[in-house]
Structure 1
Amino acid sequence: MVAQRAVRARGVTKCFGDVVALDGVDLDLEQGRIHGLVGPNGAGKTTLLGLLLGLAVADGGALDILGMPVGRALAAPRGVAGFVDGPGLYPSLTARQNLAALAALRGQDARTPRIDDALGEVGLTDVADDRVRGFSLGMRQRLGLAAALLTAPRLLVLDEPANGLDPAGKRHVHGVLTRLASEGTTVVLSSHRMDDLESLCSEVTILATGRVRFSGPLGKLASEDRELDYRLLTSDPEGARRLAADTAGIRVVGDAVAWRGAEALVVAAQVPALDALVAGLVRADIAVRELAPVVSPLEAAFLALTEQQEADR
């Protein structure tokens, strides 16, 4: 069974004067997925999020959201919630009062139990009656997410939702987003934190200069034909170095590096050659204690694709 698309964009363009923010963007987002949006500053991420939230309209192309074509009026499509450039909040009101006011403005149910549930889900119960002007950036981000939850969105659009979050706050937010996706909500989030995206997202879109450079499952970015640098920690660093040098497709990168109080080897390889190296280490009775990319597959692909975009200009 093919999943229904939450977003379908074809040839979407958006300009601000002479600046082309989006240049023929094609995008398909399926329901019930967490989709990451990454790109360098000025890539068009905020513009695209604004289109999804109804804060701007495209100059050209076609955009369907939740099965409905988006018109030319500035209006948030039904079933869509989120924020760009941080949530809009009333600093003089408490967290609970903010949610009640926002619910009233939307003509929604503003009963206290519903609001308390949203605050509890994002971990703000203890500060529900504190004024927002004293909130940290991370607390404001969580309150913005709570406001979006009040609408029971089918498409949730978030701009840098992990900004300012401490580990507990991040755990709350990640838990909420994972639950929403499991219940069928599509989540689109932009972030410069590659680790957050890799831990949350099943799919990612990489933008550069307003164009889509990649869109698809994260697994495709770690394809077997892409060479990455890997950090290799073993029980016998010198033996591992000799074996790596003799393994086809393996390139030892520089001298050993200190890593967690031990000596680690850095090798460049594609996945098949790396598999052969690990098998050789096992046969040589050399224990593999850690093997991980020096730079994550997402970050490596991001750098390669955006650098290629700049070279093509």
Structure 2
Amino acid sequence: MDAPPAVRARGISKYFAEVVALDGVDLDVAPGQIHGLVGPNGAGKTTLLGLLLGLAVADKGTLEILGTPVGRALAVPEGVAGFVDGPGLYPSMTARQNLAALATLRGDTLGIDEAIDEVGLTDVADDRVRGFSLGMRQRLGLAAALLTKPRLLVLDEPSNGLDPSGKKHVYGVLKRLAANGTAVMLSSHRMDDVEALCSEVTILATGRVAFSGPLSKLASENRELDYRVLTSDPMTARRLAREIRGIRVVDELGGAAEGQPDDENAGHLLIVSGQVAGMDEFVKRLVQEDIAVRELAPVVSPLEAAFLALTEQQESNG
């Protein structure tokens, strides 16, 4: 028998006085899936995560978590863990004491050292939390969630404050959880987090779903993007770009794109705009001309470009 969806929401709406925080939201999250939740500030992300953690209840619609219908009470089924707006911790207590206090509330003190080690905080387990950086607090919050061995993990900006090493560590934890069947629902303002971790994404704008589905569908090959192109022969590359149908030269001078920092290669860069098919033809022509392609990358990632287009469209329609 197939496992029930970790999350199944239909027509979820939530109001705060005259403010519509969520407006008819549908959401599906499968077991073992890392599902991203993105959107502008005020889009309703924190409200939706709060519903999944039992911190609030929907005013309309139906919500099932781990196969159990969630009613109008502030509660969720066993097996759900996570945090929104940062983890709640006792600053005067050590990391180990914080986890022990939480474990005692649940009647079980097993697994504390395992959770601390899992998030890479063993060396500071007996340090007081008041001295922890933001990233260390995020990792301790993740450790607290792991104590319950969750089947649904809900995280709000889990990489907030993490250095590259800490981010890599947290990524590994979340991927291992998903591989073992845990559903992970995470919100992030960072598109690189979503692209690195998530197989599916839901984009919220003004409380409504602007998109929900696989990343591969969102970053469609039919979407035109700006690309940075660095070659061994920028003059010929510029000429070829102007000759190819479906390719448009954005920066004739080969400087940095708007909003991008200048670099030592700026004078040799070409910024072109086009769809994937056009860029494939461009690269093919460069190779035929024996021109080395030293860099070819989107100025803005396909996910971020789609995110901006969808949220702007949703907000203008709203």
Distance in structure 2 (CA, Å) of the matches to 1:4 and 1:228: 38
Could you tell me which residue of structure 2 aligns to residue 95 of structure 1? 95
Matched, 1:140 2:137: yes
Matched, 1:216 2:213: yes
Q: Which amino acid aligns with 2:190?
A: R
Match of 1:203 among 200, 203, 227: 200
Task: Tell me if the contact between 1:53 and 1:77 (Cα under 8 Å) persists in the aligned partners.
Answer: no
Distance in structure 2 (CA, Å) of the matches to 1:238 and 1:77: 63
Q: For residue 33 of structure 1, report the CA deviation from its aligned partner.
A: 1.0
Could you tell me which residue of structure 1 aligns to residue 310 of structure 2? 305
Q: Aligned runs of 1:248-263 on 2, under 5 Å?
A: 248-254=245-251, 255-257=253-255, 261-262=264-265, 263=268
The count of corresponding residues between Structure 1 and Structure 2 is 310
Distance in structure 2 (CA, Å) of the matches to 1:179 and 1:264: 40
Matched, 1:31 2:31: yes
Q: Which amino acid aligns with 2:65?
A: I
Q: For residue 77 of structure 1, report the CA deviation from its aligned partner.
A: 2.3
Task: Tell me if the contact between 2:171 and 2:197 (Cα under 8 Å) persists in the aligned partners.
Answer: yes
Task: Tell me if the contact between 1:81 and 1:151 (Cα under 8 Å) persists in the aligned partners.
Answer: yes
Matched, 1:268 2:273: yes
1:287–1:4: structure 2 CA closer, same or farther, 3 Å change rule? farther
Identity fraction in percent: 76
Could you tell me which residue of structure 2 aligns to residue 85 of structure 1? 85
Q: Deviations over 1:213-269 (max 9, x none)?
A: 001111112212110111111111111110010000000002202565322111110
Q: TM-score, normalised by structure 1?
A: 0.96
Distance in structure 1 (CA, Å) of the matches to 2:292 and 2:124: 49
Q: Deviations over 1:120-159 (max 9, x none)?
A: 1111000000011111111110000000001000110000
* Structure 2 residue matching 1:139: 3-state secondary structure: helix
Q: Which amino acid aligns with 1:168?
A: S
Could you tell me which residue of structure 2 aligns to residue 54 of structure 1? 54
Distance in structure 2 (CA, Å) of the matches to 1:278 and 1:168: 35
Distance in structure 2 (CA, Å) of the matches to 1:154 and 1:289: 45
* Structure 2 residue matching 1:144: 3-state secondary structure: helix
Q: Which amino acid aligns with 2:194?
A: L
Q: Which amino acid aligns with 2:37?
A: L
Distance in structure 1 (CA, Å) of the matches to 2:77 and 2:305: 35
Distance in structure 1 (CA, Å) of the matches to 2:180 and 2:292: 42
Q: Which amino acid aligns with 1:75?
A: A
Distance in structure 2 (CA, Å) of the matches to 1:70 and 1:234: 57
What residue ranges of structure 2 are gaps of 5+ in the alignment? 257-261
Q: For residue 201 of structure 1, report the CA deviation from its aligned partner.
A: 0.9
What residue ranges of structure 1 are gaps of 5+ in the alignment? none
The 10-residue stretch of structure 1 (16-25 or 218-227) with the greater mean CA deviation from structure 2: 218-227
Matched, 1:12 2:17: no
C-alpha RMSD over aligned residues: 1.4
Q: Aligned runs of 1:133-172 on 2, under 5 Å?
A: 133-172=130-169
Distance in structure 1 (CA, Å) of the matches to 2:84 and 2:95: 19
Distance in structure 2 (CA, Å) of the matches to 1:230 and 1:118: 42
* Structure 1 residue matching 2:11: 3-state secondary structure: strand
Matched, 1:116 2:113: yes
1:135–1:82: structure 2 CA closer, same or farther, 3 Å change rule? same
Distance in structure 1 (CA, Å) of the matches to 2:273 and 2:218: 16
The 10-residue stretch of structure 1 (68-77 or 184-193) with the greater mean CA deviation from structure 2: 68-77
Q: For residue 4 of structure 1, report the CA deviation from its aligned partner.
A: 4.5
* Structure 1 residue matching 2:277: 3-state secondary structure: helix
Task: Tell me if the contact between 1:37 and 1:204 (Cα under 8 Å) persists in the aligned partners.
Answer: yes
Q: Which amino acid aligns with 1:36?
A: G
